[in-house]
Amino acid sequence: MEIVCPAGTPASLRAAVKAGAHTVYCGFADETNARNFPGLNFDREEMRAGVAFAHGHGAKVLVAINTFPRAGSEPLWHRAIADAESAGADAVILADLGLLAHAAKHHPGLRCHLSVQAAAANADVINFYASTFGVRRVVLPRVLSVPEIAAINAETEVETEVFVFGGLCVMAEGRCSLSSYATGQSPNMHGVCSPASHVEYHDDKGALSAKLGGYTIHRVGAREPAPYPTLCKGCFQASGTKGHLFEDPVSLNAETLIPQLAKAGVTALKIEGRQRSRSYVAQVVRNFRAAVDAQAAGSPMPEGMLASLTEGQAATAGAYKKTWR
């Protein structure tokens, strides 16, 4: 299976390729991509150079143009698609229906992948995107089990790509209203979920409070680790219960499920983390490349290689193995 790896910077792209990535995904330094953070992403010249470097080492590059355009500002997104094609990108990752229609009409030779932000979670809608816009691959939401993925693959010829490591979104992808409510910025329009500009940490009578947009998301003891204040992984009190009501502050790690995902017909394994360091990217890529190569060779699967890189050094298999609370 293809390993699709994150690259938030040109240095991370080079690190991922050198570590054995089959494919790297990245985005332009503007609101056309869903990791629109200061200091991340690529200008046009950096994108051209990154694609050339990847191609020179036998790897592919996908450009994420996966946010939803603001009314009247569509030309910014249209330029991004055109610039990705001129840079030599192997595909663009799109979510918006209008952008998919634009790409199909004006860039018919450019391969299109459907972003996880489109939340396409059944074969009928996936086949619609394929027949209407020529979509060749779909990135599946992180709310599906392995049997559900196998059932989808049995009813479509569109390639499927699934997340196997990194940040875990427990909402219908691209439909989260919690972060938008707290910060005023939309994950699927402005490209930011729990933006760092809205994060604060305060000493609260000997405890440490982590806030997002002025809302306290976590309160921990002075010597306890404070998770990043992501709303879906916050600690709340509701109906007499106090705790992580949606999901614990942990990372997705599905490395042990690689054989099952292969059997389910998955084409590509996606690693989340364009905001992570190049060292992080290189370590994760090396470990997943070793796991995929072992699976392909019929050798025993290496396990437990990535525990130190997960959030809070704790991991979950997410919806692959359980039902959300």
Instruction: Name the least confident of 66-80, 91-105, 249-263.
Output: 249-263
Closest CA to 278 of 73, 10, 21: 10
Spatial distance between the Cα atoms of 20 and 5, rounded to a whole number of angstroms: 10
- The string of pLDDT tens digits covering residues 132-148 is 999 999 999 888 899 99
Distance set, CA 245 to CA 78, 240, 262, 282, 325 (Å) = 40, 11, 32, 33, 7
Q: How far apart are CA 300 and CA 302, in angstroms?
A: 6
Spell 28-41 as b/e; 16+ CB within 10 A means b. Answer: bbbbbbbbbbeebb
pTM for the whole structure: 0.88
Q: How far is CA 79 from CA 28, 47, 65, 69, 290, in A?
A: 11, 14, 10, 12, 38
Report the alpha-carbon angle 204-208-210, nearest 5. 105
How does pLDDT run across 205-244, given as a tens digit for each residue?
A: 888 899 999 999 888 887 787 778 888 888 888 888 888 8
CATH architecture classification, 2-168+250-320: Alpha-Beta Barrel (3.20)
pLDDT digit string (tens) for 109-119?
999 999 998 99
Tell me the average pLDDT across 6-25: 96
Asked whether the predicted pLDDT for residue 307 surpasses 70, the reply is no
Residue 76 has a pLDDT of 97
Taking the domains of the chain in order of start, what are their residue ranges?
2-168+250-320, 178-243
User: Hunting for tokens 């355009």 — which residue is that?
Assistant: 69
